[in-house]
Amino acid sequence: MIPDLSPGADLPLLFLDPGAWGEGHVRLSEAQWHYLARVLRLPAGSPFRVLDGLGTRWMARMPTPDERSREAVISDPQPAPGELPGRITLVQAILKGDRQDWILQKATELGVHAIVPVLTERTVVRLEADRADRRMARWQEIIREAAEQCERGRLPILLPPVRLTDSLPGELAATEALWFGHPREAGIPSLKEAVRATTGADHRFFVGPEGGFSPAEEAWLRGRGVRPVSLGARILRAETACLAAVSLLASELEER
């Protein structure tokens, strides 16, 4: 089916890598050109949209049907919509199976600024060095596709997997609030209550693996100013906790 290209219609949207940008034009990758020319069957001159992943969106025109050229003329740069008025960093223990892919996709759709996959004492997944590059490439593609689908203005930052104890930068912004979910501790505030008591717009939320953080890891988090919060009276699976936390944080940021 050929997409509606009438004025005001939704247009195809693509994030382009930094090396694709030239003076007044962009060069599509072979896969992007195939998608526009073969899958969507856009005629030459048809409009579509491109983003640099840093917050700017351009109008582009489909190049001539020459697979070797693939250069599209761009114009009309505009601030890209689709971003939260603050930064959410999700520090998340790597989960097994396709649950990790699902978290990356949904966290991107909900507006996270960055994702830090971490290895913990109870992490089941083991990352072999010879597969690390392929895994990161697949995760990046999942994030890119999700960002295009939900019309993000920026690509979320995906950091390489690290140990939990290496997941906090040496210097954090003074306004960044640090939280971790604790399903059993009595007397702690809910995440909503905790966020509403802060004035900053940047939040970093830590989610443990199946089985949660170990006592030593909880002590490490607390010792670095990461405060425990509740996500409700129920015990949530790790992937559910990720999405519950990000959803609540995004909602609070958008309502301020």
Confidence (pLDDT) at 7: 42
User: Which residue, 114, 113, 115, 88, is CA-closest to 203?
Assistant: 88
Q: Cα(27)–Cα(46) distance, rounded to whole angstroms?
A: 16
Count other C-beta atoms under 10 Å from residue 66's C-beta. 11
Provide the CATH number for the domain formed by 13-79 in this structure: 2.40.240.20
pLDDT band of residue 188 (cuts 50, 70, 90) is: very high
Domains of the chain, by residue range, sit at 13-79, 87-255
Confidence (pLDDT) at 252: 94
Provide the CATH number for the domain formed by 87-255 in this structure: 3.40.1280.10
For residues 233 and 5, which has the higher predicted lDDT (pLDDT)?
Answer: 233
- In tens, the pLDDT along 19-47 reads 899 989 999 998 899 999 989 999 989 99
To the nearest whole percent, how much of the chain has pLDDT over 70?
91
- In tens, the pLDDT along 150-181 reads 889 899 999 999 999 999 876 665 678 999 99
- Write the single-letter amino acid at 220: W
Spatial contact of 50 and 75, defined as CB atoms under 8 Å apart:
no
pLDDT band of residue 5 (cuts 50, 70, 90) is: very low
What DSSP string describes 118-135? EE-TT------HHHHHHH
Spatial contact of 188 and 50, defined as CB atoms under 8 Å apart:
no
- In tens, the pLDDT along 70-116 reads 899 999 999 888 899 999 999 999 998 899 999 999 999 999 999 99
Rg from Cα positions in the chain: 21
Task: Please indicate whether the domains covering 13-79 and 87-255 agree at the CATH topology level.
Answer: no
Number of H helices, E strands in the chain: 6, 13
Angle at 218 between CA 157 and CA 175, to 5 degrees: 50
To the nearest whole percent, how much of the chain has pLDDT over 90?
62
User: Which residue, 173, 175, 177, 170, is CA-closest to 206?
Assistant: 177
Q: How many residues are listed for the chain in this entry? A: 256
